[in-house]
Amino acid sequence: MIAARLAILAAAALVGCSACDGEPGEAPHDDVTAAEVAETADGLSVANDTAPTPSGSIEELLLFFPSQYPEGNWQPSGLVYEDVEFAAPDGATLHGWYCPSPDPIATVLYLHGNAGNLSHRAPILRRLQRELGVTTLIIDYRGYGRSEGSASVAAAIEDARAAHAFLARKAGVAKSSIVLMGRSLGGALAVEVAAAAPVRALIIESTFSSLVDAAQHHYPYLAWIVPEAKLNTAARIAKFKGPLFQSHGDRDGTIPLSLGRRLFDAANDPKQFMEIAGADHNDRLPGAYYERLKQFLVELP
């Protein structure tokens, strides 16, 4: 039983660790990985035991590692943002940061990975706002940051869809003109939204083809524990019709490059893939990445 639970943990850790660039002079706040989860006599304990317990099945319990307010940097320097709130389908209040840019080249919904909260992504938001000139909304899923409720895969997908609709109202644009951007687990959520509703473009970073694929890569003898239909991102991305920009590090030890390539192969044209040399899962993305990302956005129809 312990081995089975650890296999689920390993698969869960594989999908969620997304890079959170640190402030200059500070260490980055990376998402929780399997190394930060210790088995005790009472079972499995995670690094942050003050957050609300995620709902759903055991693999979901081990998939989400939220940090609640006030953990994080809630007054970041150099970022223009507005605290916003809107309702999830179950009535829970969701919190986000709306980061406007004058005369933006794009309006972006950013969906983060499985750990921490939106405040840990301030350096990324600052770069999108100041260097790329985009307006961005980032949200915390239920159970993260200042958002109410408990995390689950179904709830996170609902939260992403609710954020998509909210951003359209807030920015005064059509839902179909919004660019979805997600990293790791957030990339899978972005694909879920894009598969069901027209969007201007899709940007995904270090995202898996499916949760079961990640389990099969690392623990093939225990992969049967993970439901095949859960977070089957490759199947869902085939339903997306629009421009795709995907990136992945060639030294990603958390979600192997091969799984990113499998996801890309399942996508429709037009699509671009940027392989980032020497990059592991939680490494900062280089300036060349943001240059190519800006070019992608500028060239969007």
Contact 171, 135 (CB under 8 A): yes
pLDDT at residue 39 greater than cutoff 50: no
pLDDT at residue 47 greater than cutoff 80: no
pLDDT at residue 46 greater than cutoff 70: no
pLDDT at 13: 52
pLDDT (tens digit per residue) in 139-196: 999 999 999 999 999 999 999 999 999 999 999 999 999 999 999 999 999 999 999 9
Pairing of strands 135-139, 201-205: unpaired
Name beta bridge partners: 83. Answer: 97
pLDDT at 88: 97
Share of the chain above pLDDT 90, in %: 72
Residue 208, token pair as written in the block: 């898996």
Query: How far is residue 295 from each of residues 17, 129, 131, 132, 133, measured CA to CA in Å?
Result: 27, 15, 12, 9, 12
Q: Which residue has the tokens 């939106």?
A: 118
pLDDT at 40: 23
Average pLDDT over residues 114-123: 96
- pLDDT band at residue 71, thresholds of 50, 70 and 90? very high
Q: Can you tell me whether residue 65 is helix, strand or coil?
A: strand
Contact 231, 15 (CB under 8 A): yes
Contacts (Cβ under 8 Å, ≥6 apart) of 200:
106, 176, 177, 178, 179, 242, 243, 300
pLDDT at 22: 39
Q: Can you tell me whether residue 189 is helix, strand or coil?
A: helix
pLDDT at 9: 54
Which domains are assigned to the chain?
A: 2-298 (3.40.50.1820)
Average pLDDT over residues 104-125: 97
pLDDT (tens digit per residue) in 164-174: 999 999 999 99
Average pLDDT over residues 259-279: 98
Distance (Å, rounded) from C-alpha 145 to C-alpha 197? 27
pLDDT (tens digit per residue) in 197-223: 999 999 999 999 998 998 788 778 877
Distance (Å, rounded) from C-alpha 297 to C-alpha 136? 13
- pLDDT band at residue 15, thresholds of 50, 70 and 90? low
Residue 169, token pair as written in the block: 């109202």
In terms of average pLDDT, the best of 19-23, 52-56, 247-251 is 247-251
pLDDT at residue 119 greater than cutoff 70: yes
